[in-house]
Amino acid sequence: MDQKEQKDKISPKKDDASLHVAVLKQMLTLATSGFGLVAALAWNSLIQEFVNSYVKKWLPQSGLVSLLIYALLITTIAVIVTYQLSKVIKRVEGLQNSNVSK
């Protein structure tokens, strides 16, 4: 068997392996998204309960104010989490680039 025939026999296995890796990456993405949704819903319930329990006590006729406080709280949390995650990604990319150049 010459080298070309050997490469032809090896490449389907490499393709199968890359397909398995792609499927696993997709499964990880889907699982992470699902758990992220569940966590977001849990935080949503917690913040709604906080607004209903504490804000509405102080301002009983304030449906609009309660919704505003809730929206501001959610927006603040989303901005902080997004900013922190982007910093982590930049740090990891920097580490990868420094490891590649060595």
Mean per-residue pLDDT, 81-98: 84
Residue 102, pLDDT score: 62
Distance CA 40, CA 74 (A): 10
| Single pTM value for the model | 0.52
Does 34 have pLDDT greater than 80? yes
Distance CA 79, CA 94 (A): 23
Residue 38, pLDDT score: 92
Mean per-residue pLDDT, 29-52: 87
